Structure 1
Amino acid sequence: MNSDNTARKLDSSVANFGLRFGVASRSAVPRSATNWRQFVAVAFAVSAVFSLQATSRADEEKPITPAEVKLGRPVDFAKDIAPILQANCVACHNKGKTEGDLNLEGTETILKGSSSGEIVVPGKPDESYLYNVAARKEESFMPPYPNQVQAKKLTPEQLGLLRQWIIEGAKAGESATSAANMQWQPINNDLTAIYAVDTDPFGRFVAAGRAGTVSIYDLLVKDNVTSLVDPALVEKKSPSQMAHLDYVHSMAFHPNGQMLATSGFQVVKLWERDTSDVTVQVALPSTTSAMVTSSDGTLAAVQQADGVIRVIDLATNQVVNELSGHAADTATLLGIHGPEQQWVSVAIADTVKLLNRSDNAIAAASEPLGSKAVDAAFIAAGNKLVVLQEDGSLRPLALDAEKKTLAAAEPLKSDKGAIKQLRLAEPMLMCRVEGNAVELRKTDTLQPAVIIQSGTPNVSSAISPNAERVATVSPDGVAELWNAKDGKLLATLNTDLSAQRTLAARTADKAVRDARVAVVKGQVTEDEKRVTEQKESLKKAEEEIKKTTEAVAEPKKKLDEAVAKTAEARKALEAKKDDEALKKALEAAEKAETAAKEALAKAEGDVESATKSKTLSEQAIKRAEAKVAERKTLLVAGEAEAKAATDAHAAATEEAKKTVASQLVAFVANELVATVDSSGTTRLWNAADGAATDLLSGSLPEAAQPVNVAGAAKALVMQQADGKVARINAFPQWKLAKVLGPQGDGKPSAFVDRVLTLAFSPDGALLAAGGGEASRSGELTLWNVADGKLVRTFEDAHSDTVYGLDFSADGKYLASAAADKFVKVFDIASGEHVRSYEGHTHHVMDVSWKGDGTTLASAGADNAIKVWNAETGEQTRTITTYSKPVTSLDFIGMEDEFISCSGDKRVFRHRAANGGAVREFKGCPDYVYCSATTADGSLVAAGCEDGILRVWNGKDGKELATFAPATK
């Protein structure tokens, strides 16, 4: 036995006599000699045990003199006192572990006192038990010596602060422990592990959190990466420009895909994809009559009413060059060309000139061509400018830079008709021909290689920068997407994205409601079956009662006869007491009577048993009928919800049948084609298959409708009928919209500690946030997304930190997973706790609902996935695929399958019904902290220790993309 253990045991013995070591109170000293001798004996034993530690114990027990406090301000609890208590007292006196029923974590609980009474008397430190035991003036000394938590006695300076705080009234103070009051340090750049990840509902964006940064990746245009930045952190010159000061622990996309919630220490931030200001007017001094863009999309040139051609840097919307003397009635703007886009081409009468955009000097000029040029494209490989003339022919002009000439070759015509438009995308020159044709000519020979023949005339056309796609628009507004390699139609671009997404949401909601009705119908059938079974049991019990009641008569008759015979035999024996035969006759009669009694008792017992069975059956019928009634009430409500969902789905279906019209078309990237309508509304389409991907609303009046658009670097530049020019950003920025938690300088956050998990309600109106103080509390709150206000706090939701949250698909319930080893479900409308699910032997890291609401699955740090009957709380299956903690889990919509990941480097798709692994998503070389999937399971993403975000095709497990952390 070590000396510390011995000391503790002997201290306990002394305590049994009502004494404390050191200076005992007079009333605590035993009065009898016997008790005193016992005390001395115990004290002697203790003294012997501590012979090697006597000096240190004596030092520990010496009273402490408080140092004078010279702060120049009042003592602040959070700043001055809380750190002292945290280091030396809170380990044994906290919410989760309240020795002596005492919690020293805050002023409220300190002033509340312990089970023995108050411990602080405001203004009177010498009457305050907390001060006296800390000063070693009164037992039991605190912190005690020795102890198992490495707590140390207070220094004179610390004791002085405690004393002064009590003198000043033991106030909470204005300064609270919050993120705003902390001295934050930069997070090491090498710490790039991904702790949070989510996919947007439509499978285009994936967000990942590394340290305090958040990156949003565009799976359609993979080089489009957005890093979220909180302007307040930039303004305050925080350690680095980032989304959060602390690690990003959780994130969740809003159901509309236009908002992302992220969390850190005591804060949740809501970021919105700002589509309201994607169109920016270019500040120009005059109205525009013509507009062209460079082939790389970096510059635009406009010809204006004041006779000046102005070159605009599309990255900044600033005019960078002005070329005067080019009035629209004498000169026609053709294009911007050259290796560094250094030339502007213009047509004057039937000649063509290349002008240096830097000084307006003539770089080269052609002889008269016989027809005016109206469009141009420069083919660098052949050092030639190809111009489109008014007569619909092409005219190659060979550039001789030294001679400053443009030598004309013979004109080229199309056998399909007059050429009306040129667009260059090496190695193809797209020529829109009057009528239905678009020719793709090789830039080296200028001969047609592919001919696209649409069903209607084309008024606008465009070719992708990589020359793989062509888009056209007909006079009636029908836009079409074509494969440039073979001229085949890929898609008609007329889907109303808004209506399509509404339909998808209504379809999902209808599926949820229909599934719920089917489940409840099944439950009603089962409950009615139980009623029938119980009624059968009641019928049998009644029959048994009748049968057993009737059966009582015979043994009762026999008992009566036996009693009479016994009496007769006894009477006969009394007359002849020594008659052996009569003795035997009496003995036989008594034996027969006993047997008759037993037979009657059995018969009556059978009646009692049958009666009890009848009572139990009647009770069971009442319970079953009540359950049927309850289920039917739910069914009626569910059917009403299903009917409303069906009606909404039908309306959405009709709305989705409507098509949208386009006026102009252009490519903003190889992967994205843009169409613009008369209001300036821009729609983006996936160039691979023509799927609608984005909608950027416009509101231009008829007088300002677009007359020309051209693709720029990830943008469109638009010429309007009113002579204005605007730039449309095809990739709207994500901006900070709201901050939840902080309540102002000096005030505590609504969140007590780190926020570890987030979840939006299915309708997007509510945001649930979970976290808490480790080993002390499990915090669960509900927020209104529209105004950012706290809706509800679920008091004492868990006894330890909340790690996972998920709303049921109908939005009525919230499931939570926590470090206290529980999964719980709460009612959203009332906030009431509905049910607990117990079975994990370690922290529960995540939880997810199956779409029909019948099943929950949870991920545990005990390396297990557990599947639960959501209604009964019964555990239906344990899945033990993983060898390390299961860190994340998501059901796939209405399917009976879910995605999960683990610290053992693996990501799986499992089937809940049998626990089987459907598919593994390979590639993570280290601990996987988080995973996410789209509602249809088409995409799976995961983040691990190496900081690389991996995205797979959810259907076949093939890796689609990897995104490494940004280089510092």
Structure 2
Amino acid sequence: MLVLVKIEISGQTYSVSPENENFQYLRREEQEKIRGDRNCCSIGFKTGRIAHPKMKRALSIFTAGLMVAPVAIAQESAEGLEVAELSRKEDVDFATEILPIFRKNCLACHNAKDADADLNLESPAAIAKGGESGPMVIPGNADKSQLMAHIRQTEKPFMPPRRNKVGADKLTPYQLGLVKLWINQGAKGEVRQVTQKLNWRPVPITMTPIYTTAISPDGQFAACGRGNQIFVYHLPTQRLSARLSDPGLAKGVAHRDLVQSLSFSPDGRTLASGGFRVVKLWSNKAAEPAKVVNLMPGGEQVVALDVALGQARAIVAGDRGAVRAIDLNSMMPVWRDQIQGQAAEQLQLSPDGKRVAALFSDGRVRTWDAATGDRLAREASPLGATSIAWLDAERIVTGHAADGVKIWAANNPGRVTASWGSTAAVSALAVLGEGATVLVGQTDGKVLALNPADGKTIKTIDHGAAITGLRVKQDSNQLVTL
């Protein structure tokens, strides 16, 4: 390796080697470096200068390898960084391909808030405005664009600077090729302001500091926030009364973040809780005393009642022959009918809730439209009925003391479609499986499961005492005997 050291004093250049007097004015570390190579000679190259404390001169050191390194260095400096030649049909997308390069290596110094040389590289529009030295890009001509010359480092100032405090690196050949292609394609594009969705992470369950508490005005309840949870305690009994939960969050969680404040309303029935930019109101719906509603005017007693699933309407029958429909929201009557001189004994809605049948003390069944109260038929039903049940939406089953079981059409009571005898007087009826099985309760304590298609007994259950009522759970085929 060859080492050349030259000293300039008052404009004169002096060669330095361990054999001449100039050697003594060098620093100790500089002397050691020169002694490392005894082949010192004067070569007509000079690099950067180093100041010396005792002499008004500059020290120039040039190091060359045995290969032709100086030639390679000079060539790189003249041609700049290597640029990859890219070719593709689709346009370069500034937001997804160019901006990430600038964000990593350029935007620390060239952004809207801190624009060195008045140059902002955050968007194509800002780049087109240029900076102190004029436009930075010439759309369609990357080779004549200032931006390309600076980032390729063929013109100073080199970008990014070789020594910077933000860890920016010189661009790779591919990155330079991508910027060049973007400029040659017209330096187009836009940066859309898209609000990113916040992915909330739950507060750890172990993080439960109490930052706030509140006591109701009547002194009955105390609320405290434990992390993102709210606990309410009943002070007289010193027991947990409630743990508040937001249905939109996990079970037992009141807020996404920590509960910062709590306050009861003056009446103590509303609790307000505050978190990060959120206030929630929690209602304390205390149990209200049951309301007594008179469904039958004039002192008539209700002996039967039924409500169809999903309907806010109840059908009631009284001991003086009245049949009424009541709106359960307003508690106002919808329609009313009266069977003079007869007391109602049983009442049942059809499976679809559209019709209602009522058994009266004369042993006859009357039917109505549940919505309007119109009588379905004026014909008389089979006599001597002791119990009723809907087989389906069109047919009714009646039990009789002496005549067993009869099936007939609701809109044509005089037409009996099936009749079977029984071993004892029928006292209760029920239907299972959407009309698949008729359950017959008798005064001898037996319950018969009959096939309505042929009247054959499928099964017999011994209750042990006279049957007074049957109740079934349709979805599980469960039976309760009374």
* TM range, smaller chain: 0.3 to 0.5
**Greater relative CO (CA pairs within 8 A, separation 6+):** 1
Bigger Rg, which one: 2
With the length of structure 1 as denominator, give the TM-score of the two structures: 0.20
